[in-house]
Amino acid sequence: MRIGVVEDDDGVADALIDALAAHRIPAQRMVRGRDLLTRHPEFDLVLLDLGLPDMDGIEVLRSLRQVSAVPVIILTARDDERSVVRGLRNGADDYLVKPARMTELLARIEAIRRRASRARQTTTSTRQFGDLTIDLAARSLSLAGQPLTLTTKEFDLLAALVDNPGAAVSRQQLMDQVWGDAFVSVSKSLDVHMTALRAKLGRPARIETIRGFGYRWIG
C-alpha cells in the first residue's frame, strides 16, 4: 500500500511519514493540492490536509472525485461540524482532526484497506456483451469467437468504459484513467483512439457519444 500525504506543514508531514514508515507503510509527500490531481494514480490511499497553499482541500477533493475513487482520509485542524460534513459529502472516506493519534489513524487506514480488498475479491475479470467477450485481467478480447487485437491505449479505453456498463463516463475521466492526466489536453488523442476502438469492435454503436460530456458503454 502506498500512501500519498498532501500536507504543506513540514513538521506535520515529516512526523506522519516517519510514523507510517515505522509501520512499514511507504508514504510520499505532496505540498500542493494540484500535485495530488496529477499524481493520484500512484497511491492506494490519500491523507489530505484542507488548508493548502494553492487551493482549498475540499476543492481538491471535488476535482479528484471527478476522476478517481482512491480512498481519502481528511486530516485537518478544522474540527467544526460543517467542515466534517462537507468533507464527507464531497467524497472523503474518513475524517480525522489534528493532532491525530497515530494508533487511531493506523486503525482507520487498516479499515479502509480491508474494505477495498473485500470489494476487489467480489469482482471477476471477464465481461460478456453478446458476442463480445472481454477478459480485463488477461487484457484480451474476442468477437464471435475470433480474437481481436487492440493497442494498449485502446484496451485501456475499453476497460474504463466497460467497468461501468450503461453509466456515462466523462472525457476527463477517460483521459485521466488512460493517459494519467485529465488536466492537460490530450483531447485529440482520445478522439483518435476512440475512432479506432469503435471500428475494431465491429459495431460503433457499442459506445454511445454523450455530446458535451463523454461516452457510455452500451455493449
Distance CA 198, CA 84 (A): 44
Distance CA 99, CA 16 (A): 10
Measured from the CB atom, the residue of 62 and 139 that comes closer to Ca ion is 62
Q: Nearest distance from residue 69's CB to Ca ion, in Å?
A: 24
Q: Draw the binding track, 114-153, toward Ca ion (x: CB under 5 A; -: no contact).
A: ----------------------------------------
For residue 165, is the peptide bond before it cis, meaning its omega torsion is within 30 degrees of 0? no
Q: Draw the binding track, 35-74, toward Ca ion (x: CB under 5 A; -: no contact).
A: --------------x-x-----------------------
Q: Draw the binding track, 170-189, toward Ca ion (x: CB under 5 A; -: no contact).
A: --------------------
Scanning 8-16, 129-137, 162-170, 174-182 for contacts with Ca ion by CB under 5 A, the matching segment is 8-16
Measured from the CB atom, the residue of 51 and 130 that comes closer to Ca ion is 51
Q: Nearest distance from residue 6's CB to Ca ion, in Å?
A: 9
Alpha-carbon distances, residue 146 vs 14, 134, 135, 159, 202 (angstroms) = 55, 12, 14, 19, 12
Q: Nearest distance from residue 10's CB to Ca ion, in Å?
A: 11
Measured from the CB atom, the residue of 74 and 175 that comes closer to Ca ion is 74
Q: Please pick, from the candidates 1, 8, 84, 196, the single residue that binds Ca ion as defined by CB under 5 A.
A: 8
CB 66 within 8 A of CB 92: no
Distance CA 65, CA 60 (A): 9
Q: Which residue has the cell 461516452?
A: 215
SS3 75: strand
Distance CA 141, CA 131 (A): 10
- Can you count the helices (H) and strands (E) in the chain? 8, 12
Q: Nearest distance from residue 77's CB to Ca ion, in Å?
A: 7
**Which triple of cell numbers denotes residue 219?**
455493449
Residue nearest to Ca ion (CB): 51
Q: Which residues of the chain form contacts with Ca ion (CB under 5 A)?
A: 8, 49, 51
